[in-house]
Amino acid sequence: MMSRIEQLISEIEEYIDSCKFQALSNTKIIVNKEELEELLVELRLRIPDEIKKYQKIISQQDTILGEAQAQADAIMSDAKKQADSMVAEANAQTSEMVNEHEIMQRAYAHANEVMEQANLQAQAIVDQAVNDANAIRQGSIQYTDDMLNSLQAIISHTMDEAKSRFDSFANSLQSSYDIVSSNRKELAGGLTPRQEDSQEGQSQPQDENEQK
């Protein structure tokens, strides 16, 4: 902020610049004596107060500098304390983070070990299940084959028995047929030709029926 003395000096300078030069002169000017004196009188009155104020400021300079230095020292001390506290806290956090990192590494290692063991156990269970399933499958196939073999033997035996019975029955029919044919031939020897023709006519349908 500009003091009043500085303002008065500026006003005097502006006033001088506004004055007109004397005729035939580039250095001499025409001034209003009363107006200039008013500015100078006020300047004279202001100078002592300003001087006292500046003297007071100068005399208090050491005190102000001391207080400023004390405040600066206090600020520096507080800043140093805060910095030390922040450094200590950072070191503590770093140590804690290192410890946490070690703990996490151990946890990860343990988790990986557990996962590996679990995978091995799971694989063993799967392998055992596959082996059991294959064994059951093989046993089922073998059991089914045994049952089919037994059934095949029963059917074969039944077929053999049926064939034997059929052959026996066929032989029995053939034997009866042969006896009947032999008896007819014996009877045919005692018949007259007409009776033979009649007998042959009667025998033809029987032969046809037999053939049918």
| Mean pLDDT, rounded, for 137-157 | 75
How far is it, in rounded angstroms, from Cα 119 to Cα 127?
Answer: 12
How far is it, in rounded angstroms, from Cα 168 to Cα 112?
Answer: 82
Q: What percentage of the chain exceeds 70 in pLDDT? A: 84
Please tell me the predicted confidence (pLDDT) of residue 104: 77
Contact assessment for residue 43 and residue 5, using Cβ atoms and an 8 Å cutoff: yes
How far is it, in rounded angstroms, from Cα 206 to Cα 115?
Answer: 95
Reply yes or no on whether the pLDDT at 207 is more than 70. no
What is the amino acid identity at position 142? Q
Please state which of the ranges 1-10, 16-25, 80-89 shows the lowest mean pLDDT. 1-10
| Mean pLDDT, rounded, for 87-93 | 85
How far is it, in rounded angstroms, from Cα 158 to Cα 111?
Answer: 69
Residues contacting 20, CB < 8 A, separation 6+:
29, 30
Reply yes or no on whether the pLDDT at 204 is more than 60. no
SS3 content of the chain, % helix, strand, coil (to 5): 90, 0, 10
How far is it, in rounded angstroms, from Cα 132 to Cα 120?
Answer: 18
pLDDT tier at 136, thresholds 50, 70, 90: low
| Mean pLDDT, rounded, for 86-95 | 84
Reply yes or no on whether the pLDDT at 123 is more than 80. yes
Reply yes or no on whether the pLDDT at 206 is more than 60. no
Reply yes or no on whether the pLDDT at 212 is more than 50. no
Report pTM. Answer: 0.32
Contact assessment for residue 12 and residue 43, using Cβ atoms and an 8 Å cutoff: yes
| Mean pLDDT, rounded, for 65-72 | 83
Most distant CA pair in the chain: distance in Å? Answer: 208
How far is it, in rounded angstroms, from Cα 31 to Cα 177?
Answer: 185
| Mean pLDDT, rounded, for 111-136 | 80
pLDDT tier at 174, thresholds 50, 70, 90: very high
Reply yes or no on whether the pLDDT at 40 is more than 70. yes
Tokens representing 82 are 């805060």
Please tell me the predicted confidence (pLDDT) of residue 198: 54
Residues contacting 47, CB < 8 A, separation 6+:
5
Tokens representing 11 are 């006003």
**Cβ neighbour number for residue 8 with a 10 Å cutoff:** 19
Please state which of the ranges 14-18, 80-84, 94-98, 208-212 shows the lowest mean pLDDT. 208-212
- Please state, rounded to an integer, the average pLDDT across all residues of the chain: 79
How far is it, in rounded angstroms, from Cα 161 to Cα 157?
Answer: 6
Reply yes or no on whether the pLDDT at 150 is more than 50. yes
Contact assessment for residue 27 and residue 20, using Cβ atoms and an 8 Å cutoff: no
Reply yes or no on whether the pLDDT at 70 is more than 70. yes
| Mean pLDDT, rounded, for 83-100 | 82
